[in-house]
Structure 1
Amino acid sequence: MASIKKRPNGKWRARYRDSDGNEHARHFARKIDAQQWLNTVTASVVRGDYVDPKAGLVTFTEFYDSWSTRQIWTRGTRSSYDHVAGTVTFGDMPLLKIKKSHVETWVKKMSTDGLAALTISNRLGLMRAVFKAAVGDRLIAFDPSGGVKRPGAASRASTMNIPSSEEVRALMDASEPFFRVAFVVGAFAGLRQGEICGLQLEDVDFMRQQLHVRRQVQRRMPHPVEIREPKYNSDRTIHLPQLVLHEISRHLQEFGTYGDDRWLLLGRDNGPMWPRLHEYRFSKAAEKTGLKYTSHDLRHFFASGLIAAGCDVVTVQRAMGHKSASVTLDTYSHLWPSAEEKTRVAVESIFNEAFGSPADSSRTGGQK
């Protein structure tokens, strides 16, 4: 129901009822303006994308607090969202009044504060999820972060630090003997730091030549560490050659396991090795060799080896425990051969099959 009436003061009063039966009204100096407003509102009601103007008066922080309690998140994901929600510069603003410019100001501040481009991009992605939820609840008509440019980041090719096989061997040789196995499963199984710390004897299947990734160890304040599922729930099985399993077996023979849960690495208080201690042991070996690598660089070494061996995207994704194949491509696409190179190799293979290689032709004088 909608109508327009002239008031005694000369103003035009336009009013309508929304889908819930609530009445809304606005006053205009000209009847044509009142009619245009009413046409826009009633059309949105008919389309089903109507937004109650009063609903958007809830602040960003108020909406986030309510929305976040309904999400099925891991503790790590919740911690990430809570942290980012606490950094926005528009937390006390009503959702209805947040504009693209406000989001851009927040992005600019993060950049000025010295945050990396990838960090800013990730934070913006998390906030977009909140705004989209507000749109879905019909608190606002559109996402104000839409169209906000992400800061340019350096290409993966220029920032990725991949050690050579010789450098990996040098790092392993420089490590403390009991810590050598951490380099083995990092470089030749691609495990994350927390996953390495979370390895137990039961995770190694010597008969089937498999390593099962079932848990990770993460710092969680105020507690020193927390044992939880791998990132993105990426429980997975890594198929290992006998040579790698031999290194793990030798570690077990020389150093055994630690604690009641039989952790592969020496931990604390009957528990696993803390990630902070893992980082210290790794850095100590790297410093001894003069090489500037981190434990995450060993994951890049593992992934690059799989790609060089001809593994496809899905195979690499599963081995690395990535959330999706798109994450794998975003990270390692520059390591796969280009389409042009693949075409050349394929054509060369077809040509050689049909006519033989140039060497074969010269030996036979071009005769068949």
Structure 2
Amino acid sequence: MAGNIAKRPNGKWRARYRNEAGHERARHFDRKIDAQRWLDQIASTVLTGTYVDPGAGKLTFRQFYDDWSERQLWVPATRANADLATGSVPFADLPMKSIRRSHVETWIKGRAAEWAPTTIKTRFVIVRSVFRAAVADRVIATDPSIGVVLPRRRKTEAAMRFPGVEEVGELLSHADSSRVSSRKGFRAYVALCAFAGLRKGEAAAVQVGDIDFLRRQLTVSRQLQRDGSTYVVRPPKYGSERVVFLPDDLVTILSEHVAVHLPDSEPDRWLFTVGDDPMYDNAITWRWRATRAAAGLSHVRLHDLRHFYASGLIAAGCDVVTVQRALGHASATTTLNTYSHLWPTAEDRTRAAAADLIHQALKANGRADGETPRSAVPH
């Protein structure tokens, strides 16, 4: 970077340089030493790769987001969420270089009364990603969202609901309806969520050929997502294609579903349909609400069935990796962050190990648990 300092007729010192695009940038100072210090700072940022052109930050937050978002490989739902998050900020029309952490904090504080902490976290992450992209593009030097404190969220174990086996049984018994154009065949959908841990869109996207009835396994290779007034077929969330091993009773439920509702179907036929289309989004939501209302369990969410499945695997002694693969989590860390409170703690394992030791010792001494040794019986 070439720069120079010259004294102006008005007595001030002008420091100037040309940026990577060849555009001249200049500032005026009362003292030559201040002009030289400014040029040295610019030269340092150029050498370290942190140089930000002063003119770049004139873009408003909205202008930068509109340009940046067009280059992102987002599904429609993600784009809609990003538009919602960035459209809610009060600094959308401010130049990027003028946005301070206080602006972001004011936005968070203003939304805390109307949004749940989890909603705030989700939308903050989107806005933060815009600032990080601006830093990477050298539009701004620093990310103003750094250090912003978010409302405290409830602990996972406190916010998570786990239906009991009796409740799931009630939901299954009320899932189907004898009414025409109602919930016929919905029992199999509920069973897939409860006993295979499928997400809403994954269960909707199951085709007849995905089920291997002989090997008792299901291949999860797609999901359905709403796209305006129709649907799109996409890979599972986080690329979580997987094979789920099915219990015998679930295989029976699915085979009966196929025999009753899809006899002589081709392998690529949707397992759950509404007319000629797959059952998705609102069609699922309506049937689920009707099911839980009929069962008297209106507090149970559809996603709670996935938690039910995970908790069952953990209670049966499955390790973290097994549960991760069954649920299609991106990593074992995700599984632990969500369900770590369900695995036995060191205290639990210590107590269980000690109980086993005392049981073996008492048994070796010819005593049943809790039996008083003869030597301790007063004569």
TM-score by length of structure 1 reads 0.88
Q: Cα offset for 1:186? A: 0.9
State the one-letter code of the partner of 1:158: A
Structure 2 residue corresponding to 1:255, chosen from 250, 261, 264: 261
| Cα offsets for 1:183-239 (capped at 9, x unmatched) | 210100011122222222111111111111222223222x14333332223222111
SS at match of 1:295: coil
Give the structure 2 partner of residue 294 of structure 1. Answer: 301
SS at match of 2:285: helix
Residues 197 and 217, structure 1, Cα contact 8 Å, conserved in 2:
yes
Q: Distance in 2 between matches of 1:258 and 1:128?
A: 52
State the one-letter code of the partner of 1:358: A
Q: Distance in 2 between matches of 1:166 and 1:53?
A: 65
Identity of aligned pairs, percent? 47
Q: Cα offset for 1:75? A: 2.9
Mapping of residues 107-186 of structure 1, within 5 Å: 107-112=108-113, 114-176=114-176, 178-186=185-193
Superposition RMSD on alpha carbons, in Å?
A: 2.4
Q: Distance in 2 between matches of 1:20 and 1:220?
A: 41
Are 2:206 and 1:203 equivalent residues in the alignment? no
Q: Which stretch shifts more, 327-336 or 92-101?
A: 327-336
What is the number of residues matched between the two proteins?
A: 358
Q: Which stretch shifts more, 75-84 or 48-57?
A: 75-84
Residues 258 and 264, structure 1, Cα contact 8 Å, conserved in 2:
no
Residues 258 and 266, structure 1, Cα contact 8 Å, conserved in 2:
no
Residues 201 and 225, structure 2, Cα contact 8 Å, conserved in 1:
yes
Structure 1 residues 356, 296: CA separation in 2 closer, same or farther (over 3 Å shift)? Answer: closer
Residues 19 and 45, structure 1, Cα contact 8 Å, conserved in 2:
no
Residues 76 and 227, structure 2, Cα contact 8 Å, conserved in 1:
no
Give the structure 1 partner of residue 363 of structure 2. Answer: 360
State the one-letter code of the partner of 1:310: G
Unaligned runs of 5+ in 1: none
Q: Distance in 2 between matches of 1:85 and 1:313?
A: 36
Give the structure 1 partner of residue 248 of structure 2. Answer: 242
Are 2:307 and 1:306 equivalent residues in the alignment? no
Q: Distance in 2 between matches of 1:274 and 1:72?
A: 23
Q: Cα offset for 1:303? A: 0.8
Structure 1 residue corresponding to 2:281, chosen from 270, 275, 282: 275
Unaligned runs of 5+ in 2: 178-184, 368-372, 374-379
Give the structure 2 partner of residue 324 of structure 1. Answer: 331
Q: Cα offset for 1:356? A: 7.2
Q: Distance in 2 between matches of 1:37 and 1:342?
A: 63
SS at match of 1:162: coil
Residues 257 and 265, structure 1, Cα contact 8 Å, conserved in 2:
no
Residues 208 and 265, structure 2, Cα contact 8 Å, conserved in 1:
no
Structure 2 residue corresponding to 1:342, chosen from 320, 333, 349: 349
Q: Cα offset for 1:34? A: 2.8
Q: Distance in 2 between matches of 1:150 and 1:216?
A: 32
Q: Cα offset for 1:69? A: 2.2
